[in-house]
């Protein structure tokens, strides 16, 4: 499943109006400061927390983040294109279905991960496998020039294939003795964390990971500013640690990375580093579309 099957009515490029709230000024001298926070823009079951016109520009290589929370009947979403980016879909609750570029179909249950590296272009699809509630995050990551025009790949990991260190499930990168089998396109860590009320967790990012953000799926945490379900917070650019304390049982994701030093050149369902790379990918996507039409898949 691609969370954008839910969110097609939300523009990809149009500068979604966000509420960017300055962080509180009363901070502990030892705390890494939150510089911006938002609750995004909600359309149906999707909340767009990050896009290239706002947080994606200051947090790149992280360029889109959707929080999805759907309850209802199962459905199949249409095939759709991507290029120049990678997406990582994490299922916190429920079950999603997927259709990969080779028309292979499957499902992922809670705790599972779908990784799609679009490269020069690919089409894929998916939906909801079962009725009921389905929650999770879909993250878009900008690719560097050596990968944005490369081959496409898809990887699907069941819950038991995702390694864990303490409360952190390692969706991408590494933490302690746990690491992801997915080869990251650049130096990136991306974790899903669950804390019980009163528990604390401290994250010290690797050298060079000056980009850092978190988004809360449920509950309330203190960093020391209070963040609650639906909040996304961007931390100041530094290499300092951040400590989370759960005020209630809480679920959140966290991303850190070496900054993406390239421009974000945008097309529908695409992010590239240059107009030339975008044009080349759009031509490739059109060729793939023609083949899919001939095969009766579109």
| C-alpha dist (Å) from residue 110 to 78, 96, 153, 164, 170 | 22, 9, 22, 15, 15
If we measure between CA atoms, which residue out of 154, 144, 134 comes closest to residue 87?
Answer: 154
Query: Would you mind telling me the total number of residues written for the chain in this entry?
Result: 298
**Cα–Cα distance measured from residue 16 to residue 295, given in angstroms and rounded to the nearest whole number:** 36
Q: What is the mean pLDDT of each run of 10 residues along the chain (298 residues)?
A: 38 34 43 92 92 94 94 77 95 84 78 94 80 90 96 94 98 98 97 98 96 98 96 96 97 98 94 97 92 80
| C-alpha dist (Å) from residue 101 to 116, 129, 259 | 10, 19, 30
The pLDDT of residue 125 is 78
Token readout for 56 is 């994606």
Three-class SS of residue 217? strand
The pLDDT of residue 4 is 42
Query: What's the pTM value of the predicted model, to 2 decimals?
Result: 0.88
The pLDDT of residue 245 is 97
The pLDDT of residue 298 is 75
**Cα–Cα distance measured from residue 42 to residue 254, given in angstroms and rounded to the nearest whole number:** 20
The pLDDT of residue 44 is 87
């Amino acid at each position: 499943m691609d969370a954008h099957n839910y969110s097609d009515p939300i523009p990809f490029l149009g500068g979604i109006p966000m509420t960017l709230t300055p962080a509180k000024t009363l901070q502990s001298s030892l705390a890494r400061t939150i510089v911006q926070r938002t609750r995004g823009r909600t359309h149906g079951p999707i909340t767009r927390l990050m896009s290239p016109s706002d947080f994606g520009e200051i947090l790149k290589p992280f360029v889109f983040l959707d929080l999805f929370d759907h309850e209802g009947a199962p459905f199949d979403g249409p095939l759709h294109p991507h290029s120049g980016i990678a997406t990582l879909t994490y299922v916190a609750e429920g079950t999603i279905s997927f259709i990969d570029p080779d028309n292979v179909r499957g499902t992922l249950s809670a705790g599972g991960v779908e990784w799609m590296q679009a490269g020069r272009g690919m089409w894929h699809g998916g939906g909801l496998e079962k009725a009921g509630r389905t929650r999770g995050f879909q993250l878009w990551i900008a690719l560097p020039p050596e990968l944005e025009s490369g081959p496409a790949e898809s990887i699907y990991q069941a819950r038991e294939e995702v390694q864990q260190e303490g409360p952190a499930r390692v969706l991408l990168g590494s933490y302690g003795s746990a690491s992801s089998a997915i080869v990251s396109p650049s130096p990136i860590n991306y974790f899903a964390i669950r804390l019980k009320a009163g528990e604390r967790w401290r994250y010290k990012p690797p050298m060079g990971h000056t980009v850092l953000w978190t988004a809360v799926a449920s509950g309330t945490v203190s960093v020391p500013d209070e963040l609650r379900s639906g909040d996304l917070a961007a931390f100041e650019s530094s290499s300092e640690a951040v400590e989370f304390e759960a005020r209630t049982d809480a679920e959140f994701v966290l991303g850190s990375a070496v900054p993406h030093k390239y421009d974000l050149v945008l097309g529908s369902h695409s992010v590239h580093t240059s107009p030339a790379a975008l044009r080349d990918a759009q031509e490739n996507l059109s060729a793939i579309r023609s083949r899919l039409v001939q095969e009766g898949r579109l």
